[in-house]
Amino acid sequence: MRTPLFTDQGYQWLWGIYRNHRSVNHSAKSKEGRYRWARDRWSKNGVHSQVAEGNQRLLKTSFGTYNYVKPKNSTLYLNEFSFLKNVRVLGLDVISGDQGLLGIGSSNYGLKKSDFLNENWLKKSLRDYTYIKSNASENGDVISQSGYSLVNSSLQLQKAKTRLLKAMLAHNDFWMKSKGTYVQRRKELRHQKTALKIWNFISDPKEDNTYHSVSEVCSELKIHKITVMLILRKWLNLKIIEKRRVDRAWYDRSIDFAIRKKAKELPYLLYTNFKKAKNKKTLRSLK
């Protein structure tokens, strides 16, 4: 599922489920002077908020014509929609580039022989673009949702070890019992979103669980190193990832090491150390 999906902030729960989900904040105001009278419309990273809203509406109306929509083929529908829109706007000659339009038998796109021993080549090629249910939905264990943050399921708690179990239970208690202030909850949500971005970056299936340096994570994801180190220290303490040294010059004093994921999935954790409020009796005694 690599097709980007742009939505407004009404779908914030998608950031923990769909990897390429990108939300647009309609109420945000641009810092540039030329957008002062633009009705809070702004652009970021080449994506304009009004264009994203129009594409989302067009996507909804286009999918309304599909009477046979199935979640299994959702990625194929999005790829078909994106391809037809690019053909309509740019043209097939521009998309094909210097290679030209493909014929029936060129570029290995012709009909291939298939028998009962070999699998159909079309089904085999489409398998990478079909939606596969997660283990949590197969076991029928419902992951509860508190506010904007998901909590760890009972199945994940049973498989976790002692130290990791304590951290996962602390996360569940924080959200299910509505602990902390509004500012603390918003801060914790930002850390969770950043942690999910880092986890998706180091768990790319193409790279076969290779090592990634901390500087590479910061530069590729455009995240400050202090925030990245806050999350990585938590993972190293709970043995979710493993690290190794990176060879550098003798005069290089910067903190950098290579990381690789050790756990199969990322649990929901608390990344902020909240200070406990002092009792009134202790404050009076200090006075």
How far is the C-alpha of 114 from the C-alpha of 110, rounded, in Å? 13
Q: Tell whether the model's pLDDT for residue 128 goes beyond 60.
A: yes
Domains of the chain: 5-129 (no CATH), 144-261 (1.10.10)
Q: Tell whether the model's pLDDT for residue 101 goes beyond 50.
A: yes
**Residue 231's pLDDT band (cuts 50, 70, 90):** very high
Q: Tell whether the model's pLDDT for residue 277 goes beyond 60.
A: no
Strands annotated E in 90-214: 145-146, 149-150, 212-213
Bigger pLDDT: 37 vs 105: 37
| pLDDT score recorded for residue 15 | 65
| pLDDT score recorded for residue 281 | 53
Note whether 33 and 25 are within 8 A (CB): no
**CA 63 to each of CA 53, 80, 164: distance values in angstroms, whole numbers, following the listed order:** 15, 11, 42
| pLDDT score recorded for residue 227 | 92
- pLDDT tens readout for residues 168-227: 999 988 888 878 888 888 888 889 989 999 998 888 766 667 888 888 899 888 899 899
What mean pLDDT value characterizes the chain? Answer: 74
